[in-house]
Amino acid sequence: MIKPSMLRSLHSAVSRGSSHLARRGYSSESTPDRKVVVLGAAGGIGQPLSLLMKLNPLVSSLSLYDIAGTPGVAADVSHVNTRSEVVGYQGEGELGKALEGADVVIIPAGVPRKPGMTRDDLFNINAGIVKSLCTAISKYCPKALVNMISNPVNSTVPIAAEVFKKAGTYDEKRLFGVTTLDVVRAKTFYAGKAKVPVAEVNVPVIGGHAGITILPLFSQATPQANLDHDVIVALTKRTQDGGTEVVEAKAGKGSATLSMAYAGALFADACLKGLNGVPDVVECSFVQSNVTELPFFASKVRLGKNGVEEVLGLGSLSDFEKEGLEKLKPELLSSIEKGIKFASQ
């Protein structure tokens, strides 16, 4: 039996950011109406993500879309006694209705990684799915903030950008690659080694969202703990290999779906807070960027009413991090170019 206190803490985990409204004496009814769409809602990430978004009091309308299985997921989630109205949409014929009027569109659609599969093996299947979903977004909700979860993010974000450019709707402030799971892992692993409460930990993660392109900046971690160099190296490697760790532990039965759903819900909550005018909302995300010579790069981003308000710099890096940054650039660039090339075919 789940205790009420556990439910309350689960609820506050995804809506902690909206507590500023409660503190100021606002009811949830006085927060703006916001429509959130989950594309791929019946999948391994989509189902727990849909539940977590249902728990978020900033969401007034929750639209769940997939090619199959959505009516059941929507019926199930709709029974949760929180603010948002839930509607399920199934099949391509209903995609437009699912998207109309969206403020935030979260895309976990696609196939998951299986053992022995690289993120690039996923590429052709997921790239095609993303291309068609983004074509629909450009038509039905061109002003929505798009949160890309579908892997490989290093390529799917550039694909989305190219699709939107072709449609004449591209706004680089409204397209995000969700790299929050890398941050969540870095915080968790760091807290374990530094012996500090994980809730107090912050670790920026830059670069991309696969293997060595993931670069946690433990030199900037707070609270600062003087960890040995070999510990930092091991923590970096574990953060980079976090996805593989889960794929192997699930022994062919899936990939990181639950932790990814949690990370996706956190980032969507940050986007909603930004849209609602909450000040100083800063998260790491893979966005169009001038921070390095690469056209897309993950770093800290300030979120606001238009999406990206400011892409923040990298800050000072340790020698180990500088080396990691130079190593990741060629791989990240090739993934970005692969996405652009796919979109132009």
The pairing of strands 281-288 and 296-304 is antiparallel
Q: What gap in Å lies between CA 263 and CA 17, rounded to an integer?
A: 14
Show the tokens assigned to 312: 């923040």
133: nearest Cα among 48, 207, 43: 43
The active-site residue out of 11, 20, 79, 209 is: 209
- The beta strand positions in 156-208, using DSSP E, are 175-177, 205-207
**Alpha carbon distances (Å) from 12 to 17, 175, 202:** 8, 27, 19
| 3-state secondary structure at position 249 | helix
Show the tokens assigned to 21: 């409204």
61: nearest Cα among 11, 22, 102: 102
Known binding site: residues?
40-46, 66, 113, 119, 126, 149-151, 185, 260
Show the tokens assigned to 72: 């059941």
Residue 88 and residue 41 in contact, taking contact as beta carbons nearer than 8 Å: yes
Residue 59 and residue 11 in contact, taking contact as beta carbons nearer than 8 Å: no
Known binding site for substrate: residues?
113, 119, 151, 185
Q: What gap in Å lies between CA 34 and CA 104, rounded to an integer?
A: 8
Q: What gap in Å lies between CA 51 and CA 63, rounded to an integer?
A: 12
Q: Catalytic site residue 209?
A: yes
Residue 312 and residue 302 in contact, taking contact as beta carbons nearer than 8 Å: yes
Known binding site for NAD(+): residues?
40-46, 66, 126, 149-151, 260
Q: What gap in Å lies between CA 90 and CA 221, rounded to an integer?
A: 43
Show the tokens assigned to 261: 């759903």
Match 């974000």 to its residue by tokens: 157
Q: Would you name the residues annotated as active-site residues? A: 209
